Structure 1
Amino acid sequence: MAESLAPPPAGTALDEPPHPDAPETGDLAVASQWQLMWQAFSRHKVAKVCGVITLAIYLVALLAPFLAPYPGSFHDADYTYAPPQRLELFDEGSFRPHVDGLIMTQDPATLELEFERDPSTTIPVGLFVQGAEYKLLWLIPMDRHLIGPIDPEIGPVYLLGADASGRDLLSQIIHGTTVSMSLGLVGVFFSLILGVVIGGISGYVGGRLDSAIQRLMELIMSIPTIPLWMALFAAVPPSWGPLQRYFALTVVISLVGWVGMAREVRGKFFAVRGEEYVQAAVADGCSQQRVMFRHMLPSFTSHIIANLSLSIPAIILAETGLSFLGLGLQAPTVSWGVLLEQAQSVRAISTAPWILLPGIPVVVTVLAMNFLGDGIRDAADPYSN
């Protein structure tokens, strides 16, 4: 009996210290599903970094009028395809941020307009400068911008160059963040409603109704995505304004994007409809709607959130692709896809390669949100680790 109570020899597995990120056994036993999910997500370093990047991008979308040097409607036809101006921090040994002016010349052989630096003209650049009026968060009237020219009368400041209309590309990219990122959220919201309702009914009711819904989803999935979007968006009247086209594009993308969400929800409903708590709710006289959305749906909410986080970049890419082809949003609406539409001309790219810069935030956003979605998806099932 004494030998059975003797401590284990040194060097065994019981002497190994626990992993620093591992939760306490007592805490793990009483932790909720969301606590387990957060503990699993906190160990995913790449997902945490991408989460910070995603939050920063949405912060830019919210504060776009303040962060952008110019409003979205600003343009100067005298600076068409003006090159990026280098920001100089010092002038004659003193700290004085500025950019050099630009002189437009014409090549006598090709008659092509070119821009050259004009060191004799300096345009001071400052922080929190006074500029065009706007409403911060659509509520607070302001006229201060994070960065911009101190004296706009001297000349414009194009830190990332100008486009075909003489618009500041940096300001356009920042303003386009608001439209592209918000369209992703609105599109996911519509896809969520359609996917949860249709997928829930299919998975809970089953039978012939489930078969009919599955055939419909298979039909939608068998049609190439871009031609289907083109056919649906072709029905939008050309006389509609920017706001109407925005919501029309959101609905068109959602009519295709709900299928993946519906199949995910249907599978989860099939998996849990035989559980004891579901059968108890049915025996207690709960209606089908209450059983579906009050008892069954909350059990896999984390999986739906993971699916949504992976759907947002797909919608952003869809808007970018349609707008690039001229079938989505159109000027004067500013989005990343509308800005990239100018890159269809090889001649424009060869003379002004900076018009491809709106593609960088698209790549960064899609990569960040995909990695974030992968982390959320892995954390949604913490018992698998």
Structure 2
Amino acid sequence: MQALIAWVKWAGLTVLLLVAAFIIKVAWPTFVTIARQLVRRPVGLAAACVLGALYFGAAFAPFLATHRVSDLNLGQTFHPPTALTWDGGPAIRIYENIDPTAAKYEPVAGESIPLKIFGKGFEYELFGFIKTNRHLLLPDYAALEQKLGHEIDPAAYPVFLLGSDSTGRDIYSRLLFGSQISLTIGLIGIGITMTVGFLVGGLAGYFGGRFDFLAMRLVEFLMAIPGLYLLLALRSALAPHFESGQMFVVIIIILSLVGWAGTARVLRGMSLSIRSRQFILAAESMGQGTGKILLKHLLPNLASYLLVAATLSIPGYILGEAALSFLGLGIQEPSASWGLMLQQSQQDMKVFFLNFWWLLTPGAAIFITVIAFNLIGDTLRDIVDPRTRSQQ
């Protein structure tokens, strides 16, 4: 199932990049203007940098991770984040479990484990086809054995940069692998939504007539149903025990089915306005085909709205996946997503009674991602809004 997730993820992102490249090509002047304006706005630029860092972490998750997504260490449950230090080079502190019942750990004074850059660890496939076992940072157990003068059990000297959970799994590594699912679902889902919304809304506005009537009645029916209830109903209508690879595909389809209606309605109104303009009438009088008119004349005039709408809508897809996984209807073990990690944290009440705050880092990741998307979306909306430009 991990192979299915990887295949769908990279295939979906490849198609999405091709579609995005085509849209940028046909609407290049618009995107150049937006990029120049974005650089001058510090809030939007900062949000773009945060999102860039998040998606970089998702793309290179196996390289940045120190453990596999499902590696267990039952002797190091609820381990606090290991502190970084400097001991002739980068190193991490060594911790002693002073109370296994209460999971209390204390750093051993003066003891540390050296870290090696680009060390060899578990094997993985980067981008789905590059096989390697190199990682950015790994503990140098050979150097520690040489320092101590005897062999050691690596499981007794773990590296948990963001702590461990109730089964001793590394939160940092699971957060990286979980971002591949949570962030990818948002991108692929919004790509499908915008494509369907453009085809239905654009064609309805351009052609009008019976197709317009039927399309808008379908849109109004979907918009009349509360989104969360429609999401849960669609999920409940499917098999209850999908594996993670199948669930990854199902969630993308469900979120796309729920989200395209609003986009189609707005694009239909914009297409109605654009189709009566002189350049559309001139193209029709010259005998250009419908497909060429839609892609060469209609799409460039809708590109700025599509960009803003997509940016502001992606958080909804991320929250939708998190909600399904949190309720136990989304991604399942042994895979990881931010919503699934939150559900596991919520199930263990020790996070509240014993202050294991690091179990809530997936919630912080969701919060930061949603805020960043909304900030850059608001910035893009200000850039493309002619009323805002006229006031500057």
TM-score range, shorter chain: 0.7 to 0.9
Structure 1: which 5+ runs fail to align? 1-30, 107-111
Structure 2: which 5+ runs fail to align? 1-27, 142-153
Which residue matches 2:337?
335
- Three-state SS of the structure 2 residue aligned to 1:358 is helix
1:87/1:76 CA distance change after superposition, 3 Å: same
1:101/1:36 CA distance change after superposition, 3 Å: closer
- Three-state SS of the structure 2 residue aligned to 1:157 is coil
1:356/1:35 CA distance change after superposition, 3 Å: closer
How many residues are treated as equivalent by the alignment?
Answer: 347
Matched, 1:115 2:117: no
Which residue matches 1:179?
181
Matched, 1:72 2:84: no
TM-score (norm 1): 0.83
1:203/1:96 CA distance change after superposition, 3 Å: closer
Give the aligned residue type for 2:99.
T
Q: Which has the larger radius of gyration?
A: 1
Which residue matches 1:356?
360
Distance 2:90 2:326 in 1: 40
Question: What CA RMSD, in Å, does the superposition of the two structures yield over aligned residues?
Answer: 2.3
Matched, 1:50 2:54: no
- Three-state SS of the structure 2 residue aligned to 1:226 is helix
- Three-state SS of the structure 1 residue aligned to 2:103 is strand
Matched, 1:379 2:373: no
Distance 1:221 1:40 in 2: 34
Give the aligned residue type for 1:99.
R
1:153-302 to 2 correspondence within 5 Å? Answer: 154-302=156-304
Matched, 1:36 2:33: yes
For the 8 Å contact 2:92–2:159, the answer to whether it is kept is no
For the 8 Å contact 2:79–2:105, the answer to whether it is kept is no
- Using the TM superposition, name which of 280-289 and 72-81 deviates more: 280-289
Distance 1:316 1:328 in 2: 12
For the 8 Å contact 1:99–1:125, the answer to whether it is kept is no
Report % sequence identity. 34
Task: Give the C-alpha shift of residue 383 in structure 1.
Answer: 7.4
Q: Report Cα offsets for 1:160-187 as digits up to 9, x if no partner.
A: 1111221000111111111111111110
TM-score (norm 2): 0.82
For the 8 Å contact 1:325–1:341, the answer to whether it is kept is yes
- Three-state SS of the structure 2 residue aligned to 1:147 is strand
Task: Give the C-alpha shift of residue 236 in structure 1.
Answer: 2.7
- Three-state SS of the structure 2 residue aligned to 1:59 is helix
- Three-state SS of the structure 2 residue aligned to 1:312 is helix
Which residue matches 2:9?
none
Task: Give the C-alpha shift of residue 337 in structure 1.
Answer: 0.8
Give the aligned residue type for 1:292.
L
Which residue matches 1:5?
none
1:45/1:177 CA distance change after superposition, 3 Å: same
Give the aligned residue type for 2:108.
P
Distance 1:35 1:290 in 2: 23
